[in-house]
Amino acid sequence: MSSSSRVRELNLYRQYFDLVAAGAKTIEVRVKYPHLADLAAGDVIRFRIKGTDETCEVEVKRVTEYPDFEALLDGEGAFTVNPTATRDEQLANIRVIYPPEKEALGALAIEIGLPG
């Protein structure tokens, strides 16, 4: 990690954290909140399981913006977002986390990789 890397800390549910830590989940889905608008390749994300000290750092490889979650899943491939669930299951799960007014901000596909 270079000294110029910016580290962002984001919370993650355990089921997704475990997939990231295993290297199985390579696309993280987020809403384009203002604090993520300048996220870029080379940045580091420190995922934390909310309420715990468990963390996992990943490097951002690419950030791609989509108009909504359906376009994101179609563009990236559902398998990269969650290899354990179908596209329709994922769409339902994402929309439980992010209601329509949040989805309207835009969807970010954040390609991540384990360091080293």
Give pLDDT tens digits for 45-96: 999 998 999 999 999 999 999 999 999 999 999 999 999 999 999 999 999 9
At 3 the pLDDT is 53
pTM given for the model: 0.93
Q: Which CATH architecture has domain 7-113?
A: Roll (2.30)
Q: How many whole angstroms from its chain centre is CA 47?
A: 10
Q: Where are the domains of the chain?
A: 7-113
**Using 50, 70 and 90 to split pLDDT, how confident is the model at 115?**
confident
pLDDT at residue 36 is higher than 70: yes
Please give the span between the terminal C-alpha atoms of the chain, in angstroms, as a whole number. 9
Helices (H), 12-57: 14-21
The phi and psi torsions of 14 (rounded to 5 degrees) equal -55, -45
Return the pLDDT at 4: 64
Average of per-residue pLDDT values in the chain: 94
| Calpha distance 102→109 (Å, rounded) | 15
